[in-house]
Structure 1
Amino acid sequence: MLPVDLPSTVRDALLAPLVDHHCHGVRRDDLSRARFELLINEGGSPAPPGTTHFDTPFGAAVRRWCAPVLDLEPHAPPAVYLSRREELGAAEVNRRLLAGAGVVAFLVDTAPGAEDMEVLTATEMGRHGGAAADELVRIEQIERDVAETAQLAVDYLDALGEELAARAARAVGLKTVIGALCGLDFDPARPSRGSVIAAANRRLSDPKRPLTDEVMLRHLLWSAVDVARERGLPVQFHTGFGGSGLDLHRTDPGRLGEFAGMLQPLGVPLILLHCYPYHRQAAYLAGVYPHVYVDVGLTLPHTAAASARVVDELLELAPFHKQLFGSGCHSVAETGYLGALSFRRALGASLASRLASGEWSPADAARVAHMIGSGNARRVYRL
């Protein structure tokens, strides 16, 4: 599994069980080839005619690394891989791949996808993976649920705060996708009461549409911050890589610097997810602010052989006690398995280069591997 020779203490640290601090449920049903290919592509669109999403770094990694988990030879052709997947059935495939990831705890964003996909619950993710599982609350999903039942703006705002608090009581963290909805260059100040009531009235005029009103999104975010502060929870921010329809330059986590400064006196941990291709900006924020943390998530299996370079660049500046492992697992269990494997291989290569140059001792490398793989998440999420 690991690409280089390493001291036994470092190998043991890299192969130790991980805390996956950010993932989603995976599909519980059997998938056609067309459906599977849609789900392994972040754009969610079919490959151009005559091509396949298996001809990507991620698709090649599926054939190389997931095939043996399903009792196939490495580099099995796509048709053979998918035939074996169908033969085993979704439940067995999920069990093998999630358990094979070597995760001791999954922290699961349980908000349904845009298509309301049939996915495993947090409890089921844990059961399939032989691990503990806890929930991350997607604040925009709570807002949508409340908006669809509210009649008056005041009732809507009261219910929103109450539901956030109720859901947070059963969760280990809160998550926002505000960057995908209006960008991360929003006005970071808490909006005034009058502007929020006006925004609430606008929202209730069409509650089934995705929330894009910046005032309402800022109110939702600050309401979540209040709940997180009260309960001692971190707030995750989706930034950078992941999903379609993003105005990528507006998801640069560096734009969150002013908001991070406002959050610092409150003591609420701010966790920047995915970050690529802005992982150096995220690393800078993690170095400057004591409450900012960072991961590169699903970037690693999608960059595959180049993932060591991404991890190496994050290690250049981000404090080691500020980095977290998150697979970004979603849709198919291959994403979770490859997220864990790519993380271990990439971090292993980066540690090996530092050991070879004499920059770090084996004890240093093992300590960093433990911190990023599980220790930091246990501390931040109070596991």
Structure 2
Amino acid sequence: MNLADIPLIDQHAHNILRPEVVAQYPYASAFTESYDPEIINYHARHTFFYRRSLREIAALLNCEAEEAAILARRESLGLEELTQIYFRAANLEAIYLDDGLQPETILPISWHERFIPVRRILRLEILAEQLIPQSEDFAQFLARFISELDPPPVGVVAFKSIACYRSGLDIQPVAEEVAAAHFDLLKQQLQNQPLRLTDKSLIDFLLQQALLVAAKYRLPVQFHTGYGDPDLDLRLANPLNLRYLLELPQYRHVPLVLLHASYPYMQQAGYLASVYPQVYLDFGLAIPFLSVSGMREVIRQLLELTPTTKLMYSSDAHSIPELYYLGAKWGRQLLGEVLEQAIADSDITVAEAEAIAVAILRENALVLYQSTPEIDTSSLSNSF
């Protein structure tokens, strides 16, 4: 199946880094989840993902498939033209950006809007980290935290939690007085240094406060699940740990989007999506970071049990615009291959496969986020 003509809704990605920041890092650092210098400077260049990607990037930029040649071509084109090339090649319709990843180093959402319609994903833990140092006591902090979410800020299409990174997905009930005590202890430990919130009781409490707001507005909440950089404990990243939240009736109408195919827990994620109406999945990061056979297997395992109305495309692109293109290229190609096999297996018909492809690549996201206002494209530049 050729799915190239289907425009994509990239329902989870990150801002591109400022050029002066990108210049400080080796090119290979964008192709690994590790931040260890030995991985970045040597081993990352020996992954299937990196080697395959050099050829694909070079073909698009019309240069040799060597890192030095690609870097020279990138320099000659400049970031704006590069972004235009990659976004057009990806055939993107809109992107939903989590701008909480390295917020001090990224280009603003307004920069990205020069190329494509953008909606914002609000990262909850970053919001808390910003408000805690500014708040004298827990009551003031909690009031400010909720007021920042209710109503959701203009342009925000979803909330997002990185509890998976900080304390794991086994979210448990926390009494307000317990959260307040942990807040007071945290405030005592602050020494005019950047705050990184890792306190499980506070994270669990604040996440559930945010879920109550999300329930009020039927706003999706995205969860990092599965693999990422070494900051997380992969053992705590299994989405099955979310059972407590999934069973609570007050969150029944909050769409929960399990990001990154929950890799390597694809079948567990698919099971959750098959039995809990509020659970949705995407397959960004696993695609394009895995080998071709690995990416194909991710989509295949997700669709073993997941209703096709529950699966969505994303790239989880970050840092450089290449990742938007690579995610789009392989997301389309391998979804098409898996659907072709499903036709051969008699799971679905050709017509059903075509409808499923459109649903996964764009329509499911449009339906899920339909409670938000229409994207205003009147301010988009016509120069790109």
The question of 1:376 aligning with 2:364 is answered: yes
The 8 Å contact of residues 57 and 301 in structure 1, kept in 2 or not, is answered as no
SS in 1 for 2:270: helix
Distance 1:77 1:243 in 2: 26
Correspondence for 2:346 among 336, 358, 374? 358
The residue aligned with 1:135 is 120
The question of 1:245 aligning with 2:231 is answered: yes
Letter in 2 for 1:271: V
Deviation at 1:332, TM superposition (A): 1.1
With over 3 angstroms needed to count, the CA separation of the structure-2 counterparts of 1:285 and 1:373, relative to structure 1, is same
**Superposition TM-score, scaled by structure 1 size:** 0.90
SS in 2 for 1:328: coil
The residue aligned with 2:109 is 122
- The runs of 4+ residues in structure 1 deviating greater than 4 Å are none
Write the deviation string for residues 103-136 of structure 1: whole angstroms up to 9, x where unpaired. 10100001141xx4532323322323xx311000
The residue aligned with 2:80 is 91
SS in 2 for 1:54: helix
Deviation at 1:16, TM superposition (A): 0.5
The 8 Å contact of residues 124 and 159 in structure 2, kept in 1 or not, is answered as yes
The residue aligned with 1:185 is 170
With over 3 angstroms needed to count, the CA separation of the structure-2 counterparts of 1:205 and 1:164, relative to structure 1, is farther
Correspondence for 2:255 among 256, 269, 275? 269
Write the deviation string for residues 265-301 of structure 1: whole angstroms up to 9, x where unpaired. 5411011001100111010000000110011211111
Q: Which stretches in structure 2 are left out of the alignment for 5+ residues? A: 375-384
Distance 2:131 2:250 in 1: 29
Letter in 2 for 1:40: F
The question of 1:102 aligning with 2:68 is answered: no
Deviation at 1:185, TM superposition (A): 2.1
Distance 1:220 1:373 in 2: 32
SS in 1 for 2:223: strand
The residue aligned with 1:71 is 62
Distance 2:310 2:324 in 1: 22
Distance 2:91 2:18 in 1: 20
Letter in 1 for 2:180: I
SS in 2 for 1:246: coil
Distance 2:41 2:324 in 1: 28
Aligned length: 365
The residue aligned with 1:323 is 311
Q: Please identify, of 283-292 and 349-358, the stretch whose mean Cα deviation from structure 2 is larger.
A: 349-358
The 8 Å contact of residues 121 and 159 in structure 2, kept in 1 or not, is answered as yes
The 5 A counterparts of 1:199-210 are 199-207=182-190, 208-210=194-196
Q: Which stretches in structure 1 are left out of the alignment for 5+ residues? A: 1-5
Deviation at 1:329, TM superposition (A): 0.7
Q: Please identify, of 260-269 and 276-285, the stretch whose mean Cα deviation from structure 2 is larger.
A: 260-269
Distance 2:205 2:153 in 1: 17
Deviation at 1:243, TM superposition (A): 2.2
With over 3 angstroms needed to count, the CA separation of the structure-2 counterparts of 1:327 and 1:177, relative to structure 1, is same
Deviation at 1:14, TM superposition (A): 5.3
Distance 1:325 1:172 in 2: 16
